[in-house]
Structure 1
Amino acid sequence: MSTTTPTPELSAGFLKSLARIAGAGRLLTDPADCWPYGYDNSRLHALPRGVVFAADEAQIMALVALCRDAGVSLVARGRGTGTTGATVPDRGGIVLSFERMDSILRIAPEDRLAVVQPGVLNEQLQRAVGAVGFFWPPDPTSAASCTIGGNLAYNSAGPRAVKYGTPRENTLGLVAVNGRGERLRTGVLTTKGVVGYDLTRLIIGSEGTLALITEATLKLTPLPEAKRTLRAAYADIHAASAAVSAIMAQPVIPCALEIMDAAAIRTVQRYAGLDLPEGVGALLMIEVDGPAAGIDQSVAAVAAAADHAGLIELRRAESAEEVTSLWKTRKALSPALRHIAPKKINEDIVVPVSRMGELIEGLEGLSRESGVQIVNFGHAGNGNIHVNLLIDPDDPVAVESAHRCLDEMFSLVLRLGGTLSGEHGVGIAKRAFVEREIDAPVLALMRDIKRQFDPAGILNPGKGFPEETAEHPARQR
């Protein structure tokens, strides 16, 4: 799907300066070469006028200054794994790709930190720090292909967030370039520090609208000595949701607590042979980690909490092969979804853990009313549910029904005290709904903050939240 707002043609003088700043072999301007850099996993697409491959801070600062003076938008990009269109250059302009700034600069086990460039892949970092006995907790499903810069831009977390937190809790500091072309160093090298405002957490999750991250100091966590896997099968989603509440109300926090509803289970059973008991209406996948000396007691505590009314079966993996077998159901889900419908709308809403049953019951009602098939799974331990609306994009009636269903789903989430995005961000896809969640005074304050970081409005304009009705003064030239 193409989405482009017309922008002025780039002048010959601008292009000449752009080539000088980018450096040899680091600039694309032919539309055919730029085309692959205009999309992300949302399937939205817009053609950038140019693509620059980031090299170092000096180059990035000069590029920002050039775009600032010319009023040309500048969109940061990692590997394009995002699902909300946040890296789609819908104003044309320049895409700044960080894929070549991919060095791990420092690993310091004694300080429990690593310093990396934004183009480092999540999986690449995990291998490097794993070799010295540590890990970085954020673990998105796309870890093999997503970058640390992208993880920070979206505050993307994954299953381990239930115990270890998101990138905001696992980042000590940043180096970034704001929309003025200034170098910013935020945060500290220590786990304590209260001097000044916490700009690190502000920039994380801002989707490249405030500053371009050029370096990150990440807080590392020691690898656990032991890990155990459980799978709990329940009669229905309410029983599973009640079990999640019981698990999260006791002292032992699992390192992963994933849920699948009846629609998700039926989807997998249709395309994969699974060893599930009869009458299963919901599944929990549970992992517990910690010191080897206490792992059995921890597992027993979680298992006791999971033993809730409606439990049909609780299985514990006793070997690596059994761990693989128990996770087979969850891992088979995404490939199965691709067989059912040619397109899915994938949302990542969050509600309080105690309201998950109400949420999924409400989603089942919306599915019946709209005729749109909805499959739900996700990170139960923090109420982060991935809602998949399966549609045929060539059927205009189905598409319209899906969009009405999406609108009603967001209303349901907010009624339950939830939020519209847990880790996928807002980008283009959700910006029209942001005013439902954020009050007008807070939204006005966010716009003021954006103007302080980026007075000319060039950094990823129009993403994250709706723009003001009146055109930004810097764009009236």
Structure 2
Amino acid sequence: MSPTLPAPLLADLTALLGPDGLLVDPAERLAYGYDNSRRQGLPLAVALPTTAAQVQGIVRRCRAAKLPIVARGRGTNTTGASVPGEDALVVSFERMNRVLAIRPGDRVAVVEPGLLNGDLQAALAPHGLFWPPDPTSAAYCSIGGNLACNAGGPRAVKYGATRDNVLAVTAVTGTGELVRFGAPTTKGASGYDLSRILIGSEGTLALIVEATLKLTPVASQRRALRALYEDVDSAAAAVARLMAQPVTPSMLEFMDGECVRLAREVGGADMPAMDGLMPRAQDAQERRPAAGALLMIEADGEAAVLDAAVAALTAAARGPGCLEVTAAPDEASRESLWAARKALSPALRTIAPGKINEDVVVPVSRIPELVAAVRATAAAQTLPIVCFGHAGNGNLHVNILYDPADAAQAARADAALEAVFDAVIALDGQVSGEHGIGLAKRELLARALSPQAMALMRAIKAQFDPDGILNPGKVLPD
């Protein structure tokens, strides 16, 4: 028989939330016990609040009972950040999913944390506005989850990640206090910016119950370019060139040769075969060096300036090792290109049954060194390692592919992962660019950050959550 809430706490929470606001049946609880990391736990119960006052009541009651709380959006994160222990209460924000206000004149939206990213974008479209964070799971991930992990996506290269697009948050601390940080203004010099500390804290400091988001006007036009390179080193060098010139692309994605094959064969994108045969006029073909990497580049803006922007990006993309730069002929081709990019992660399962997907980030100018280190690691461990990602931010998804049933391959995969992390840290990078730390990477923080930084983080945690009940065991190592 699975553990359950103590009877007094069960009665208190039921009175607070109503009979349908607390799930205690094991079958219902199971659905809230896992996330996209494939880790799993069975919480004692699941609370479904609808108001900030209810969230305060939950925290206060759990603090008195010394019961851990794990906040949950839609469970799309990949690091185990929302996986509960068996002694925890899950607080799911799925019923706090309203758009509270859209103010086009201020370019802000006020929302609750359970609102889906995709639903927010649909609500903003009639106003000609959008919220820039666009992770692969945008259609079904929640705004609260985006804030918890500082989600990014392809557009972050020009418009910033979540932390750059939030003006204010209202949250409940580990003591049950309701606090508000920030203001609906794009400028401010009034004390510490505590809203930015909460964003990316993965529910370990406070439970966000409302957010004021900074919105951006939708550009009237977009154009996509596809640049092919002889090898990944040439493409990585082109990324550094593209980001060093004045025109910032609205998207800049890197794909190695294996990713291009998958995008074509599995994702259905109009991609060239990586075999060196490039179509020419009148259906003739000319043998050229095989393409080993591809950059997907997009520019957006008004018609009056877009031609010049595309010309500048095209010039920067060309260089040593570049085979060709072509423009997507129409919007359908552009959409197909990006849809195939978003389908890459699941498509990797066609290469090997197991994968370790790490979202490391380094300074853009050091991407060539990171790519070289990954290639050396793949050769040393005799494993396929596939790279793609948001190259304009220096954020690459390094996918180590192996068979978990093969003990020797699993050991080599672990060794490859350690080598990748060593390279990232040596290149002045970070072990996560957008997925967060959660359970999966918390021990890495001690390697990546100084003892002084770790001590300050623990002190901040103690101020917000003195009893350590908010998402314990996540982010900070023991």
Q: How does the TM-score come out when normalised to structure 1?
A: 0.93
Equivalent residue number for residue 285 of structure 2: none
> Partner of 1:38: helix, strand, or coil?
coil
Letter of the aligned partner of 1:358 in structure 2?
Answer: E
> Partner of 2:32: helix, strand, or coil?
helix
Letter of the aligned partner of 1:67 in structure 2?
Answer: C
1:343 to 351, 354, 363: 354
In the aligned structure 2, how far is the partner of 1:135 from the partner of 1:270?
32
Q: Does residue 1:151 correspond to 2:146, yes or no?
A: yes
The alpha-carbon distance between structure 1 residues 328 and 174, as it changes in their structure 2 partners (threshold 3 A), is closer
In the aligned structure 2, how far is the partner of 1:198 from the partner of 1:215?
17
Equivalent residue number for residue 160 of structure 2: 165
Give the Å deviation of 1:367.
Answer: 1.5
2:469 to 439, 451, 458: 458
Give the Å deviation of 1:275.
Answer: 2.6
Matches within 5 A, 1:64-83: 64-83=59-78
Give the Å deviation of 1:292.
Answer: 1.6
The alpha-carbon distance between structure 1 residues 426 and 28, as it changes in their structure 2 partners (threshold 3 A), is same
Equivalent residue number for residue 429 of structure 2: 418
Matches within 5 A, 1:55-454: 55-90=50-85, 92-268=87-263, 271=266, 274-276=271-273, 278=276, 279-327=290-338, 330-454=341-465
Letter of the aligned partner of 2:330 in structure 1?
Answer: S
> Partner of 2:320: helix, strand, or coil?
coil
Give the Å deviation of 1:399.
Answer: 2.1
> Partner of 1:131: helix, strand, or coil?
helix
Give the Å deviation of 1:366.
Answer: 1.3
Post-superposition Cα deviations, 1:279-326, rounded to whole Å, max 9, x if no partner, equal 011100000011221100110011111111111011102312332454
In the aligned structure 1, how far is the partner of 2:101 from the partner of 2:218?
18
Post-superposition Cα deviations, 1:206-252, rounded to whole Å, max 9, x if no partner, equal 00000000000001011112111000000011111111111111111
Letter of the aligned partner of 2:272 in structure 1?
Answer: D
Given that residues 224 and 298 in structure 2 are in contact (C-alpha distance below 8 angstroms), is that contact kept between their aligned partners in structure 1? yes
Given that residues 64 and 179 in structure 1 are in contact (C-alpha distance below 8 angstroms), is that contact kept between their aligned partners in structure 2? yes
In the aligned structure 2, how far is the partner of 1:222 from the partner of 1:336?
33
Q: How does the TM-score come out when normalised to structure 2?
A: 0.93
Given that residues 5 and 45 in structure 2 are in contact (C-alpha distance below 8 angstroms), is that contact kept between their aligned partners in structure 1? no
In the aligned structure 2, how far is the partner of 1:455 from the partner of 1:352?
36
Given that residues 174 and 187 in structure 1 are in contact (C-alpha distance below 8 angstroms), is that contact kept between their aligned partners in structure 2? yes
The alpha-carbon distance between structure 1 residues 332 and 202, as it changes in their structure 2 partners (threshold 3 A), is closer
In the aligned structure 2, how far is the partner of 1:389 from the partner of 1:31?
35
Letter of the aligned partner of 1:301 in structure 2?
Answer: A
The alpha-carbon distance between structure 1 residues 321 and 267, as it changes in their structure 2 partners (threshold 3 A), is closer
Larger deviation, residues 200-209 vs 269-278? 269-278
Give the Å deviation of 1:101.
Answer: 0.7
Given that residues 424 and 431 in structure 2 are in contact (C-alpha distance below 8 angstroms), is that contact kept between their aligned partners in structure 1? yes
Unmatched segments (≥5 aa) in structure 2 = 277-289
Unmatched segments (≥5 aa) in structure 1 = 1-6, 468-477
Letter of the aligned partner of 2:325 in structure 1?
Answer: L
Given that residues 263 and 374 in structure 1 are in contact (C-alpha distance below 8 angstroms), is that contact kept between their aligned partners in structure 2? no
Give the Å deviation of 1:398.
Answer: 2.2
In the aligned structure 1, how far is the partner of 2:338 from the partner of 2:55?
43
In the aligned structure 1, how far is the partner of 2:102 from the partner of 2:51?
20
In the aligned structure 1, how far is the partner of 2:144 from the partner of 2:388?
26
Given that residues 203 and 211 in structure 1 are in contact (C-alpha distance below 8 angstroms), is that contact kept between their aligned partners in structure 2? yes
Given that residues 136 and 342 in structure 2 are in contact (C-alpha distance below 8 angstroms), is that contact kept between their aligned partners in structure 1? no
In the aligned structure 2, how far is the partner of 1:135 from the partner of 1:57?
26
In the aligned structure 2, how far is the partner of 1:57 from the partner of 1:331?
35
In the aligned structure 1, how far is the partner of 2:15 from the partner of 2:336?
55
The alpha-carbon distance between structure 1 residues 275 and 329, as it changes in their structure 2 partners (threshold 3 A), is farther
Given that residues 274 and 329 in structure 1 are in contact (C-alpha distance below 8 angstroms), is that contact kept between their aligned partners in structure 2? no
When the two structures are aligned, how many residues end up with a matched partner? 461
Equivalent residue number for residue 470 of structure 1: none
Equivalent residue number for residue 280 of structure 2: none
Cα RMSD for the two superposed structures: 1.7
Give the Å deviation of 1:164.
Answer: 0.5
> Partner of 2:349: helix, strand, or coil?
helix
Letter of the aligned partner of 1:123 in structure 2?
Answer: G
